[in-house]
Amino acid sequence: MKIKTLFIAPYPGLKELALTLAKEQQSLDITVVQGDLQEAIPIVKQYEKKGYDIIISRGGTAQLLRQHTSLPIIEIKVSGYDILRILTLVKDYSAHPRIIGFPNICQGFVSVSNLLGVHIPYTIIHDQEEVAEAVQQAKADGAQTIIGDTITCKTAEAYGLQSILITSGKESVLEAFEQAKQTYQIMKNAAKQVNLYKQLLQKTKIPIAIYNENGSIQFVSSSFQKILAFMKNNSDESSIYAYFPFLDNAYKQLCQEIEPIEIQYTYAINDEWVQLRQGYLKTDQNESQYYLRFSEKEDNQEEYGLSVTAMRPIMTSFSQIVGNSQPIQMVIHQAEKAAMHNEPLALYGEKGTGKKTLAGIIHCESKQKDEFLLLVRILADYREIIDHLKPILAHSEKGTCVLQGVEHLRLEHQDDVAQLIHETKTRTIFLFEDSPINLLRQKKLSPHLFKQFKQNQIRLPSLKEYMEDLDEYVRKFIAQYNVKYGKQIVGVHEETLKWLYNRNWQGNLQELSHVIEQAIQVANHEYISKEDLNNIFKNIEPGYSLIDLNKPLAEIEKDIIWKVLQEEEMNQTKAAKRLGINRSTLWRKLK
């Protein structure tokens, strides 16, 4: 297959020469068009659509075109022969010649003319815009003939001077043809590689899209394309922001700074929550590139010992917190106070007591509510962790960073975190399962770090401490899961609630929420019955016979999974690992 080549000749003679030489080119299919600086851009736009591979042009035209097309531009260089020809022509000329040109042309002339003992004055320009001034100056200096390229000659004539165009000879044109072939070959090899990777991405079925700083989509895998089509029917939007508006914000810059760590997002597409990950791709161009990919729920979290999530607060206001009990009212009171300032804060309480939820509300009720809300989980200590945390904490003067697992860091790293917090204005909220003072005593918390939030600590009570609010929470979860599962459950009977109340309750809000979720799914009356709940507890509490062999296989499987989950303190990662399945499979099987 021949290389489709567009040859733009800035003057008629070059067009003729190119047409003649093109005939001898076996591997180039050359279209020759005449056009100068002004005409070249529309020509290229017109031919670009016709599948051309490469463009050949000369001087300023070639340089201008580079800024307006992604096709490779080969420039016909002024050769020693071209210079020699001009010098031979003008050496006995009496009409005071002057060369005006870019540094390479002028230097070429100086070298060759020195060899020949011909001395022609010259003016070096660096930009086409300088031509007019250079011509006027030459005229003022007494020059009568200007030697230069097409634009220079046109300008000279406009000022009433003679001009001699530096024409390109056969050798220069042939040289450009050779270069076109070589460049095309290099391009083809690079394209081959890109194609290979693209195919690989398609084959592995990873839903991934790559886009630039402006959000313009550069690549989209077929599986991602299907999702985009699903999101916007018949839409040919080329901007990623049209589909995922949350990407166009402060996180983009952060993404670049914490590369190679990805930022996770939870996003609803047609009522279905999905996990997305955004990352930064290093390229050697000035432009920044990003990718967005769909991921299994919280997969590969341990990859970097650090996970960064753009939090989506499920509750945004203190008024949404239900419960009149003293412990809950105390939490609300303290949290309201905390939302009024920007000091580092610690929230502590057992697993599933609502620490993340409260952190989200505090953020939404604070001055920085419109800024980012990040959940940073430290999963392991490692050498570069502070380098990774630095941009996160220093990222913006605003926003809230919720930091979980800081006690996993060695004490000197914790001291570094304390220093970072001291220097930043980003609001930091620490989450602990144990009380900070206990952690301090056990030497798991650095005194420097402790000092940062010593005055601002909120303890989240365990559910068993505020059982008088149980009915409120049960009702809240029923309403929440009715929506999710399209049910119309109206509540639990008084006696069921009493029974629930009198249980030796070990779990927290997280577990209560799971139990109600299960109950909503199985309930087939308006009220959740004691039996419904009992069946669920049977499966999640130790001491009950685990497997009821009268149930269908899928149900037995569910029971086993619940049992393992319970034994692993509802830790989904550990349960999934024990069962040899991944976390999304685990949840799918429980549905």
Ligand X SMILES: Nc1ncnc2c1ncn2[C@@H]1O[C@H](COP(=O)(O)OP(=O)(O)OP(=O)(O)O)[C@@H](O)[C@H]1O
Would you say 120 or 478 has its CB closer to ligand X?
478
Residue 251: CB atoms within 10 Å: 21
Applying CB under 6 A, the span of 23-31, 288-296, 351-359, 580-588 interacting with ligand X comes to: 351-359
Would you say 72 or 327 has its CB closer to ligand X?
327
Indicate which single residue of 191, 194, 314, 483 sits in contact with ligand X (rule: CB under 6 A): 314
The reply on whether position 351 binds ligand X by CB under 6 A is yes
326-339 and 355-364 helices cross at what angle (nearest 10)?
Answer: 40
Residues numbered 253 to 312 that lie near ligand X (CB under 6 A) are: none
Count residues binding ligand X (CB under 6 A): 15
DSSP codes, 351-385: TTSSHHHHHHHHHHTSTTTTS-EEEEEE-S--TTH
Q: Give me 227's structure tokens.
A: 């999702």
Note the residue count of the chain: 591
Would you say 452 or 513 has its CB closer to ligand X?
513
Q: Kindly tell me the number of DSSP H helices and DSSP E strands found in the chain.
A: 23, 21
Least spacing, CB of residue 348 vs ligand X, in Å: 9
Least spacing, CB of residue 582 vs ligand X, in Å: 19
Buried b (16+ CB within 10 A) or exposed e, 168-202: bbeebbebbbebbeebbeeeeeeeeeeeeeeeebe
Would you say 207 or 354 has its CB closer to ligand X?
354
Indicate which single residue of 207, 305, 352, 507 sits in contact with ligand X (rule: CB under 6 A): 352
Would you say 111 or 324 has its CB closer to ligand X?
324
CA-to-CA dists, residue 299 to 203, 252, 396, 403, 576, angstroms: 20, 21, 28, 19, 12
Least spacing, CB of residue 355 vs ligand X, in Å: 4
64-72 long-range contacts, CB within 8 A, separation 24+: 64/37, 64/40, 64/128, 65/8, 65/40, 65/41, 68/41, 68/44, 69/44, 71/6, 71/44, 72/183, 72/184, 72/187
The reply on whether position 483 binds ligand X by CB under 6 A is no
Least spacing, CB of residue 494 vs ligand X, in Å: 22
Would you say 59 or 352 has its CB closer to ligand X?
352
Phi, psi of 304 (to 5 degrees): -115, 5
Phi, psi of 221 (to 5 degrees): -75, 160
Q: How far apart are CA 217 and CA 224, in angstroms?
A: 12
Would you say 222 or 317 has its CB closer to ligand X?
317
Would you say 143 or 509 has its CB closer to ligand X?
509
Structure-token match 């349960």, residue found:
575
Q: Give me 381's structure tokens.
A: 């200590």
Indicate which single residue of 131, 509, 516, 536 sits in contact with ligand X (rule: CB under 6 A): 509
Would you say 122 or 432 has its CB closer to ligand X?
432
Least spacing, CB of residue 588 vs ligand X, in Å: 19
Indicate which single residue of 513, 518, 539, 566 sits in contact with ligand X (rule: CB under 6 A): 513
Inter-residue contact 351 to 279 (CB < 8 Å): no
Would you say 57 or 400 has its CB closer to ligand X?
400
Inter-residue contact 377 to 306 (CB < 8 Å): yes
Q: How far apart are CA 504 and CA 518, in angstroms?
A: 19
End-to-end Cα separation, the chain, in angstroms: 56
Number of residue whose CB is nearest ligand X: 354
The reply on whether position 364 binds ligand X by CB under 6 A is no
Would you say 137 or 456 has its CB closer to ligand X?
456
Q: How far apart are CA 344 and CA 338, in angstroms?
A: 9
Least spacing, CB of residue 486 vs ligand X, in Å: 19
Would you say 98 or 363 has its CB closer to ligand X?
363
3-state SS assignment for residue 267:
strand
Applying CB under 6 A, the span of 145-153, 354-362, 380-388, 436-444 interacting with ligand X comes to: 354-362
Least spacing, CB of residue 506 vs ligand X, in Å: 15
What's 560's DSSP letter? Answer: H
Least spacing, CB of residue 433 vs ligand X, in Å: 6
Residues numbered 382 to 441 that lie near ligand X (CB under 6 A) are: 433
Amino acid at 29: D
3-state SS assignment for residue 162:
strand
Residue 357: CB atoms within 10 Å: 19
Least spacing, CB of residue 354 vs ligand X, in Å: 3
Q: Give me 39's structure tokens.
A: 């005409």
Inter-residue contact 87 to 147 (CB < 8 Å): no
Least spacing, CB of residue 525 vs ligand X, in Å: 24
CA-to-CA dists, residue 553 to 25, 85, 549, 561, angstroms: 73, 92, 8, 12
Which helix (DSSP H) or strand (DSSP E) does residue 229 occupy? Answer: helix 222-231
Least spacing, CB of residue 498 vs ligand X, in Å: 21
Report the candidate in 264, 306, 260, 538 with the shortest Cα–Cα distance to residue 409.
Answer: 306
Would you say 321 or 470 has its CB closer to ligand X?
321
Indicate which single residue of 264, 353, 424, 518 sits in contact with ligand X (rule: CB under 6 A): 353
The reply on whether position 355 binds ligand X by CB under 6 A is yes
Least spacing, CB of residue 555 vs ligand X, in Å: 24
Would you say 378 or 509 has its CB closer to ligand X?
509
Least spacing, CB of residue 507 vs ligand X, in Å: 10
The reply on whether position 356 binds ligand X by CB under 6 A is yes
Least spacing, CB of residue 279 vs ligand X, in Å: 24
The reply on whether position 74 binds ligand X by CB under 6 A is no
The reply on whether position 510 binds ligand X by CB under 6 A is yes
Q: How far apart are CA 332 and CA 329, in angstroms?
A: 5
> Which positions lie near ligand X, rule CB under 6 A?
314, 321, 349, 351-357, 433, 476, 509-510, 513
